[in-house]
Amino acid sequence: MDSRIVVVANRLPVRWVEDRWETSPGGLVRALVPILEERKGAWVGWGGVAGETIEPFGHAGIEQIPVPLSTDDIDDFYFGFCNGTLWPLYHDAIASPDFHRHWWRAYERVNRRYAEAVAEVLDPEGIAWVQDYQLQLAPGFIRNLVPSAKIGFYLHIPWPPVELFSRLPWRAEILRGLVAADVVAFQTRRSAENFTRCVRRYLGGVPKAQGTIDVGGRTVRVQRAPIGIDVDEFRQLAASPEIQDRARRLREDLGKPEKLILGVDRLDYTKGIDVRLKAVDTLLAMSADRPDRYAFVQVAVPTREEVPAYKDLRERVEGMVGRINGEYARPGWSPIHYLHRSIPLHDLVTYYVAADIMLVTPLRDGMNLVAKEYVACRPDNDGVLILSEFAGAAENMRSALLVNPHDVDQVATTLQNAVEMEPEEIESRMRSLKKTVKREDVYRWARVCLSALEA
Ligand code: GDG
């Protein structure tokens, strides 16, 4: 019989809505739920309310094992070490990472707590699959508690170059935690290579053929497994008459622009929203006779607002939106429509369907699912994707218009090229992008990761 799988992630795949648990939206959860259901799986993660201890419960056919986090844990582990140290460091230090020993101690303490919760439910030969940067010490702690388990780790964000990783005072501890796993997997080839170099430099690992590395008397597989989306879900929603109709009305409400340009991101400094606004400003300046040919919609989902760098970003972005609109608006028309909130999935898909040009310009991104979702929402093979070369998605989505997001003039010129692109070229690029997005969907990702663990 197949062994039981225990997924370990920062959050449970469910959230408390009013008076009951609901399955959280998102492709990752949707891809894993059927696998876990079939394998009598469990999911270990935080339940979402600080200071609350919740007993394990069943939901969506999965045993849910909540890990309690106090408000101090949230401050020092989550906002502190995870999002004030690791997140900026792993994203090319776009914002300056802070190093605090009390944050590190919280990271160790919380990782140990997750591992202990896993050990309670993991069979001796079972599979533990640990997700993301919040839990890099968990594989080591789980290995100590359940030595014969199969342990996998997947990093959703980039693994940085050795020159940046080496700044981390606890670099060897993090690496030792990870190489206790049997398989360590990444979004891109570049991340996998960076990681291998770090293990070699700081733990004396010896890379072998076929993506493995010998370290500490064990062989660890280093895998590249790009994450994807549930393509059919987006495709079906986008093709529905209701959403097609809403998209038409949306364009009317926006003043029937010739070209609707869209950005959708968490309001995170890694996403390059400020650079993108500069490029839109430049495009408007280049089209001074008719700036009202364009409408630019930016959905900016609030996130981590307790972290100072995020507050600063919000002020900067909103200042730019105000300045650009102030310069170009006239009664009944303004170039930028800025939505600082999360919108329901149906509205998101409506924007994807309505947009002629999707502008995805992160300064660094593990993958970027928004780029893939836009492609899945183009049933007629129209629409142009402009994509940062620093998004993991750029490794395979070569038919997008790739840009260096630091080069404002290049992004603006690329926008102009997108505006003027012939329909034949648009179609052939979109067809090719669709093939890639379809091939590398989230179900394939789950299969590839789990079969490496079961090999
Ligand atoms: C991390 C890595 C990696 C966004 N706004 C709304 C909304 N969204 C959804 C999108 C998309 C998801 O959120 C965002 O995913 P991304 O991949 O773009 O970015 P991160 O949140 O930074 O995710 C990233 C990912 O993990 C997976 O491994 O690709 O590199 O940073 O699915 O649709 N959804 C709704 N309303 C919104 O306003 N409903």
The torsion angle over the Cα atoms of residues 12, 14, 16 and 19, rounded to 10 degrees, is -140
Q: Which amino acid is at 85?
A: T
pLDDT at residue 341 greater than cutoff 70: yes
Q: Is the CB of 346 under 6 A from ligand 1?
A: no
Domains and CATH numbers, the chain: 5-228+443-454 (3.40.50.2000), 231-439 (3.40.50.2000)
Q: How far is the CA of 245 from the centre of ligand 1 (A)?
A: 25
Q: What is the mean pLDDT of residues 375-402?
A: 97
Rounded CA-CA distance 121/11 in Å is 17
Is residue 145 very low, low, confident or very high in pLDDT (cuts 50, 70, 90)? very high
Q: Is the CB of 340 under 6 A from ligand 1?
A: no
SS3 state at 108: helix
Is residue 332 very low, low, confident or very high in pLDDT (cuts 50, 70, 90)? confident
pLDDT at residue 179 greater than cutoff 70: yes
Close Cβ partners of 240 (under 8 Å, ≥ 6 residues apart) = none
Q: What is the mean pLDDT of residues 18-27?
A: 83
**What is the pLDDT of the chain when averaged over all its residues?**
95
State pTM to two decimals. Answer: 0.97
pLDDT at residue 2 greater than cutoff 90: no
In whole angstroms, what separates CA 454 from the centre of its chain? Answer: 25
Q: Percent of the chain at pLDDT above 70?
A: 99
pLDDT at residue 420 greater than cutoff 70: yes
Rounded CA-CA distance 387/411 in Å is 10
Asked if 100 and 129 touch (Cβ cutoff 8 Å), the reply is no
Q: How far is the CA of 372 from the centre of ligand 1 (A)?
A: 10
Q: What is the mean pLDDT of residues 161-177?
A: 98
Tens digits of per-residue pLDDT, 180-216?
Answer: 999 999 999 999 999 999 999 999 999 998 899 999 9
Exposure letters 239-265 (e unless 16+ CB within 10 A, then b): eeeebeebbeebbeebeebebbbbbbb
Active site residues: 156, 365
**Pocket test residue of 370, 374, 390, 448 for ligand 1, highest count of atoms within 8 A of CB:** 370
pLDDT at residue 452 greater than cutoff 80: yes
Atom of ligand 1 nearest to the CA of 370: 18
Q: How far is the CA of 400 from the centre of ligand 1 (A)?
A: 19
Tens digits of per-residue pLDDT, 150-164?
Answer: 999 999 999 999 999
Which ranges in 39-186 belong to alpha helices (H)? 71-73, 87-90, 101-121, 138-145, 162-165, 171-179
Burial of 204 (0-12, 13-18, 19+ CB in 10 A): exposed
Q: How far is the CA of 367 from the centre of ligand 1 (A)?
A: 9
Q: What is the mean pLDDT of residues 349-374?
A: 98
pLDDT at residue 419 greater than cutoff 60: yes
Is residue 27 very low, low, confident or very high in pLDDT (cuts 50, 70, 90)? low
Tens digits of per-residue pLDDT, 54-102?
Answer: 999 999 889 999 999 999 999 999 999 999 999 999 999 999 999 999 9
Q: What share of the chain is helix, strand, coil (3-state, %, to 5)?
A: 50, 20, 30
∠ CA 390-394-397, rounded to 5°: 165
Is residue 36 very low, low, confident or very high in pLDDT (cuts 50, 70, 90)? confident
pLDDT at residue 1 greater than cutoff 70: no
Q: How far is the CA of 356 from the centre of ligand 1 (A)?
A: 20
Nearest residue (by CA) to ligand 1, atom 27, is 156
Q: What is the mean pLDDT of residues 288-312?
A: 90
At residue 308, the pLDDT reads: 87
**Pocket test residue of 191, 265, 367, 374 for ligand 1, highest count of atoms within 8 A of CB:** 367
Atom of ligand 1 nearest to the CA of 27: 32
**Pocket test residue of 11, 368, 396, 444 for ligand 1, highest count of atoms within 8 A of CB:** 368
Strands 57-59 and 62-67: antiparallel
Tens digits of per-residue pLDDT, 384-394?
Answer: 999 999 999 99
Q: Is the CB of 156 under 6 A from ligand 1?
A: yes
Atom of ligand 1 nearest to the CA of 299: 38
At residue 189, the pLDDT reads: 96
Q: What is the mean pLDDT of residues 327-332?
A: 90
pLDDT at residue 266 greater than cutoff 70: yes
